């Protein structure tokens, strides 16, 4: 009996401590109510966001007295949470990281607060922001989100490997040239493959680069009358080319590779080329990167179009249901400003600046010096990307590597499963795309009405 009563005493003690803690945390949890000196921000946890988290307390909070609570999640979780939160207008978060993909539908549903007062502030200088980004985040004349950083896509390659092999990379390569080069540098070093291309299922994974290839091969998800073109000869040729290239000279584990896997492959010397986001250059040129200084950067490879880079930006939007609209606006004004870019540059290093959104960034001598290897290519890529006309034919909705309709994520993810399986060798491209055509046409039919 002695022992038992000791067990009871111990468990009672544990439980009462937990209840006491519960009371405490309950009190702390009440912060997101009437108190306008604190805002909640929901965002994807890309490295630029981690820097933001780090700098907020000592700068933004110190200057304004507004405390910022962040929730940072992997992209898929973040997206799921953002759409649930905004559609329920739950008001848990004041600000969220969104993009040109969400803004049109979110704004149409009245889930976002317009940010026109920020846009008209002379301090913020909206004119400095790349017009293509501003335009993509504007719905019916109102701006609904401010970009945090922007990116296009380009081709990265190992200059040292190419030199050793006596190869030259054209400054505007075609995909055929890239495929030939991939064959030649494949095996240049032990365990080195020709090129890294994303193969992981997901609309934001394999279909980000692949849709740009489809565009430049003359294909499209939908023509202007919402006829799906997933099994069109152009779409198929592009996908077949992509799958063949990655199967023949692509990275190990391609069917599961996304940005992170390719970044690892590139820094570890497992691939000689990589076609992906321009923001990757910052990580490749970081001081602790083994390939820093060895990298060359050229425009996104093309086939039938003049340019083919994508356009993406993570931007801040304010939830309509937020009770802290003023504080949220102040936060966005700070996080998307050029002042914040300078802060990152001086405190954390210029290669970490959330660039790609303001032209003044590219006039900053400190930034251009730190990013001399890639800043010009990045700027050119972003400026040449045209979300309204990315391919050979007119499109029913804007977007380069996506179609800005709410159904796209689900649709493209389903099709991507098939493409990923084709890369893994489980089925043919044809099979994947004819299944995909049915999925896409079902979506297109909704819009035809």
Number of neighbours of residue 46 by Cβ within 10 angstroms: 21
Q: Which window, 65-73, 126-134, 292-300, 323-331, contacts another protein (CB under 8 A)? A: 65-73
Q: Within a 13 Å sphere around the CA of 177, how many CA atoms are in the beta-carbon half?
A: 15
Of 187, 175, 152, 189, the residue nearest 244 (C-alpha): 175
Strand pairing category for 271-277 and 295-299: unpaired
- In the region spanning residues 148 to 187, those forming contacts with another protein, defined by CB under 8 A, are none
Closest CB to another protein among 110 and 166? Answer: 110
Query: How far from the centroid of its chain's Cα atoms is residue 244's Cα?
Result: 25
Binding-site member from 53, 325, 359, 368 for another protein (CB under 8 A): 53
Site residue total, another protein (CB under 8 A) = 97
50 binding another protein? (CB under 8 A): yes
Binding-site member from 15, 127, 376, 388 for another protein (CB under 8 A): 15
Burial tier of 144 (Cβ tally within 10 Å: 0-12, 13-18, 19+):
buried
Instruction: Tell me how far, at minimum, the Cβ of 27 lies from another protein, in Å.
Output: 10
Binding-site member from 5, 122, 140, 287 for another protein (CB under 8 A): 5
Q: Which window, 5-13, 167-175, 336-344, 377-385, contacts another protein (CB under 8 A)? A: 5-13
Q: Positive or negative CA dihedral for 437, 439, 444, 449?
A: positive
Is residue 130 within 8 Å of 383, Cβ to Cβ? yes
Is residue 153 within 8 Å of 311, Cβ to Cβ? no
- In the region spanning residues 218 to 277, those forming contacts with another protein, defined by CB under 8 A, are 251-256, 258-261, 263-265, 267-268, 270, 277
Closest CB to another protein among 255 and 385? Answer: 255
Instruction: Tell me how far, at minimum, the Cβ of 152 lies from another protein, in Å.
Output: 15
Burial tier of 301 (Cβ tally within 10 Å: 0-12, 13-18, 19+):
buried
283 binding another protein? (CB under 8 A): yes
Instruction: Tell me how far, at minimum, the Cβ of 87 lies from another protein, in Å.
Output: 4
22 binding another protein? (CB under 8 A): yes
- In the region spanning residues 108 to 137, those forming contacts with another protein, defined by CB under 8 A, are 109
Binding-site member from 66, 83, 157, 213 for another protein (CB under 8 A): 83
140 binding another protein? (CB under 8 A): no
Closest CB to another protein among 69 and 142? Answer: 69
Number of neighbours of residue 130 by Cβ within 10 angstroms: 21
Strands of 86-176 (E only): list them: 95-98, 112-113, 138-139, 142-143, 146-151, 153-158
Closest CB to another protein among 170 and 425? Answer: 425
Closest CB to another protein among 181 and 291? Answer: 291
By rule CB under 8 A, what string of x and - marks binding of each residue 183-202 to another protein?
Answer: -------xx--------xxx
Instruction: Tell me how far, at minimum, the Cβ of 278 lies from another protein, in Å.
Output: 12
Instruction: Tell me how far, at minimum, the Cβ of 316 lies from another protein, in Å.
Output: 17
Closest CB to another protein among 37 and 109? Answer: 109
Q: Which DSSP string corresponds to 69-89?
A: EEEEE-HHHHHHHHHHHHHHT
d(C-alpha 328, C-alpha 92), whole Å: 13
279 binding another protein? (CB under 8 A): yes
Instruction: Tell me how far, at minimum, the Cβ of 304 lies from another protein, in Å.
Output: 30
Instruction: Tell me how far, at minimum, the Cβ of 134 lies from another protein, in Å.
Output: 23
Q: Give the H/E segment covering residue 137.
A: none
Binding-site member from 81, 165, 320, 330 for another protein (CB under 8 A): 81
Task: State the alpha helices, DSSP H only, in 336-407.
Answer: 338-348, 365-370, 375-384
8 binding another protein? (CB under 8 A): yes
Residues 6+ apart with CB under 8 A from 312: 99, 100, 150, 151, 152, 208, 277, 401
Q: Give the H/E segment covering residue 145.
A: none
- The residue written with tokens 């050979």 in the block is 392
Binding-site member from 35, 37, 57, 430 for another protein (CB under 8 A): 57
Instruction: Tell me how far, at minimum, the Cβ of 265 lies from another protein, in Å.
Output: 6
By rule CB under 8 A, what string of x and - marks binding of each residue 331-370 to another protein?
Answer: ----------------------------------------
Backbone angles phi, psi at 280, to 5 degrees: -60, -30
């Amino acid at each position: 009996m002695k022992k038992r009563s000791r067990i009871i005493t111990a468990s009672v003690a544990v439980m009462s401590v937990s209840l006491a803690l519960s009371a405490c945390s309950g009190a702390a949890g009440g912060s997101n109510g009437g108190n306008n000196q604190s805002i909640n921000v929901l965002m994807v946890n890309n490295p630029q966001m981690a820097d933001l988290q780090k700098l907020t307390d000592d700068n933004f909070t110190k200057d304004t007295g507004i405390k910022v609570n962040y929730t940072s999640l992997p992209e898929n979780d973040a997206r799921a949470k953002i759409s649930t939160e905004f559609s329920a207008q739950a008001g848990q978060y004041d600000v969220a990281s969104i993009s040109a993909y969400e803004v049109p539908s979110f704004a149409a549903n009245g889930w976002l607060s317009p940010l026109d007062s920020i846009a008209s502030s002379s301090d913020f200088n909206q004119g400095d922001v790349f017009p293509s980004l501003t335009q993509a985040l504007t719905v019916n004349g109102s701006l609904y989100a401010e970009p945090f950083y922007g990116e296009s896509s380009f081709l990265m390659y190992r200059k040292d490997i190419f030199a050793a092999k006596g190869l030259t990379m054209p400054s505007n390569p075609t995909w055929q040239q890239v495929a030939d080069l991939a064959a030649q540098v494949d095996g240049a070093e032990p365990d080195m493959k020709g090129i890294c291309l994303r193969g992981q299922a997901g609309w934001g994974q394999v279909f980000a680069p692949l849709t740009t290839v489809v565009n430049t091969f003359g294909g499209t998800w939908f023509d202007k009358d919402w006829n799906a073109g997933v099994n069109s000869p152009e779409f198929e040729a592009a996908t077949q080319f992509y799958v063949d290239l990655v199967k023949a000279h692509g990275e190990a584990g391609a069917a599961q590779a996304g940005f992170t896997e390719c970044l690892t492959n590139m820094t570890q010397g497992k691939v000689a080329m990589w076609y992906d986001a321009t923001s990757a250059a910052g990580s490749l040129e970081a001081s602790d990167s083994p390939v820093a200084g060895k990298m060359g950067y050229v425009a996104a490879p093309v086939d039938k179009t003049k340019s083919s880079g994508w356009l993406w930006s993570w931007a801040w939007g304010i939830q309509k249901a937020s009770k802290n609209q003023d504080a949220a606006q102040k936060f966005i004004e700070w996080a998307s400003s050029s002042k914040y870019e300078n802060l990152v540059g001086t405190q954390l290093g210029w290669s970490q600046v959330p660039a790609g959104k303001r032209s003044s960034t590219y006039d900053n001598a400190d930034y251009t010096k730190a990013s001399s290897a890639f800043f010009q290519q990045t700027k050119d890529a972003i400026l040449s990307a045209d979300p309204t006309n990315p391919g050979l034919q007119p499109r029913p909705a804007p977007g380069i590597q996506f179609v800005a309709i709410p159904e796209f994520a689900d649709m493209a993810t389903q099709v991507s499963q098939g493409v990923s399986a084709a890369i893994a060798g489980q089925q043919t491209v044809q099979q994947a795309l004819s299944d995909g055509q049915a999925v896409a046409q079902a979506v297109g039919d909704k819009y035809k009405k």
